[in-house]
């Protein structure tokens, strides 16, 4: 006797060995796997979405949601110590005006991929301006940093390659390695000695193998930076390609905010985004003419996606002009970050690593990090607890972000809201 003939594909999928699903819908293995995975997730690591409305350049107001009692209206604004808008350019009048003018001229979306109908004059203008600013021969734009990193890794590595990645590189780079099929080895965070041992071993065993090194110039959850000149020199000695993700450094670190790879030989490809210091959205890859043409001809991540929205490109170009016109903004931000680190250390907190605008306060326990986040929110400050799997187990932290447009008096307010230092963190 044959199976019944369902009226639709949905009807067919509700049959298991000729019988309908149980009422709870968990009979198919894929549903059972998802259900069990969610049930096993500890409540302290359960994520949820929160909606915020900007009230001015430095404050956010949470929209009423399920966790808020009905009838209480909007909660008070929170001073934003979590966003990556380091230079405050997302609200800059010139940046907004440029995006608005492009919106009126070109429309909201590009309507096609770059190789079909999606390329607008503003895309070419932004690519040329970035290439000149960074001292690179070719720049290509992407709709997102995740997509740019996927394209970068798959352009430089294949199934016969070895990829050596810093232990803390962004998930998008690791996704690129998986897509490429290359063999992955991880080296200790910013440990060039460990990297050299791995490269030397690979070079000795397979001298003709393509070797690719992945790192970042400012690690978003650590606040740390590698010794980029030494890293580039090491890669040159061992004949390795170097892809450096400068998403969080551009506009802030390096000469004129051009990043830590600027002017260095041996950094073959730079990945950057416009969603941080540029205050816009989208991303790019910058390299030499050969790599640029290879990406154009062979990268599916570039060819088969709708082009970056023209208003975002126009906003990014206007932001670049602001960064070029105000060379003192980034050094002033870094000097302020040093003062914040000094004050936090003097208050008994472990000194946040690095010297950029990302200041992680290590707490350790997930629950303690969440409690600290809630304490700051009670004091009118928004900073987010970062927990595994984003960071290793036992290293939950509060990620503080210093921005150029934060009002004076923010640091004393932060220190008061933080309260007593947890005893394990005292020197």
- The pair of three-digit structure tokens given for residue 129, joined into one six-digit string: 């301006």
In Å, what is the CA distance from 319 to each residue of 85, 199, 244, 283? 11, 39, 22, 13
- The pair of three-digit structure tokens given for residue 241, joined into one six-digit string: 């390609």
Quick check: is 170 catalytic? yes
Cα(97)–Cα(91) distance, integer angstroms: 10
- The number of C-alpha atoms within 13 Å of 237 and in the hemisphere containing its C-beta is 13
83, 268, 276, 299: which one is catalytic? 276
Quick check: is 342 catalytic? no
168, 248, 262, 268: which one is catalytic? 248
Quick check: is 217 catalytic? no
Rg (CA), the chain: 24
123, 168, 170, 268: which one is catalytic? 170
Quick check: is 149 catalytic? no
- The number of C-alpha atoms within 13 Å of 401 and in the hemisphere containing its C-beta is 26
Q: What is the dihedral of CA 262, 146, 193, 256, to 10 degrees?
A: 20
Where do we find the tokens 């798959």? 154
62, 80, 127, 216: which one is catalytic? 216
Sign of CA dihedral 166, 169, 172, 175: positive
Which of 270, 278, 352, 363 has its CA nearest to residue 312? 278
Asked if 145 contacts 220 with a C-beta cutoff of 8 angstroms, the reply is no
144, 149, 220, 299: which one is catalytic? 220
User: Taking phi first (over 0 means left), then psi (-120 to 50 degrees means alpha), and beta for anything else, what does residue 181 get?
Assistant: left
Measure the N-to-C terminal CA separation of the chain; round to a whole number of Å.
76
In Å, what is the CA distance from 32 to each residue of 9, 17, 36, 38? 20, 17, 6, 10
Beta strands in 11-68 (DSSP E): 15-16, 19-20, 52-54, 59-62
Quick check: is 248 catalytic? yes
- Where do runs of H (alpha helix) occur along 135-244? 145-156, 171-180, 192-205, 228-237
DSSP assignment letter at 118: I
Quick check: is 42 catalytic? no
Quick check: is 288 catalytic? no
Cα(49)–Cα(66) distance, integer angstroms: 11
- The pair of three-digit structure tokens given for residue 149, joined into one six-digit string: 């990193």
Where do we find the tokens 């997730």? 41
Backbone phi and psi for residue 51, each to the nearest 5 degrees, phi listed first: -105, 130
Known catalytic residues are 84, 170, 216, 220, 245, 248, 276
């Amino acid at each position: 006797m044959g199976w019944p003939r369902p009226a639709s594909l949905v009807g067919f999928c509700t049959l298991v060995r000729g019988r309908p699903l149980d009422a709870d819908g968990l009979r198919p293995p894929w549903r059972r796997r998802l259900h069990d995975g969610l049930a096993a997730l500890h409540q302290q690591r359960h994520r949820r979405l929160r909606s915020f409305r900007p009230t001015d350049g430095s404050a956010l107001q949470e929209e009423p949601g399920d966790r808020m009692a009905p009838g209480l209206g909007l909660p008070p604004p929170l001073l934003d110590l979590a966003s990556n808008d380091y230079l405050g350019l997302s609200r800059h009048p010139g940046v907004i005006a440029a995006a608005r003018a492009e919106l009126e001229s070109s429309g909201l979306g590009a309507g096609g991929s770059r190789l079909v109908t999606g390329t607008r004059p503003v895309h070419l203008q932004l690519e040329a301006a970035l290439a000149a600013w960074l001292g690179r021969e070719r720049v290509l734009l992407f709709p997102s940093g995740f997509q740019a990193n996927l394209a970068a890794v798959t352009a430089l590595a294949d199934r016969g390659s070895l990829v050596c990645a810093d232990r803390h590189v962004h998930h998008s780079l690791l996704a690129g390695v998986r897509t490429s099929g290359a063999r992955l080895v991880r080296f200790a965070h910013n440990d060039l000695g460990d990297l050299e041992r791995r490269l030397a071993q690979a070079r000795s065993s397979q001298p003709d193998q393509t070797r690719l090194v992945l790192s970042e110039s400012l690690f978003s959850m650590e606040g740390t930076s590698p010794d980029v000149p030494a890293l580039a020199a090491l890669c040159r000695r061992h004949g390795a390609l170097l892809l450096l993700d400068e998403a969080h450094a551009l506009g802030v670190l390096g000469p004129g905010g051009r990043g830590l790879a600027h002017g260095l030989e041996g950094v073959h490809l730079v990945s950057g985004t416009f969603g941080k210091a540029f205050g816009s959205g989208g991303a790019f890859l910058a390299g030499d003419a050969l790599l640029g043409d290879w990406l154009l001809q062979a990268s599916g991540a570039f060819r088969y996606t709708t082009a970056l929205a023209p208003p975002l490109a126009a906003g990014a170009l206007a932001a670049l002009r602001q960064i070029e016109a105000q060379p003192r903004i980034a050094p002033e931000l870094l000097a302020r970050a040093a003062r914040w680190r000094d004050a936090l250390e003097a208050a008994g907190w472990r000194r946040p690593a690095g010297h950029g605008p990302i200041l992680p306060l290590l707490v350790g326990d997930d629950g303690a990090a969440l409690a600290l986040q809630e304490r700051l929110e009670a004091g009118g400050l928004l900073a987010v607890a970062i927990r595994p799997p984003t960071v290793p187990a036992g290293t939950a932290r509060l990620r503080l972000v210093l921005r150029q447009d934060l009002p004076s008096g923010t640091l004393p307010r932060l220190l008061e809201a933080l309260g007593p230092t947890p005893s394990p963190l005292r020197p």
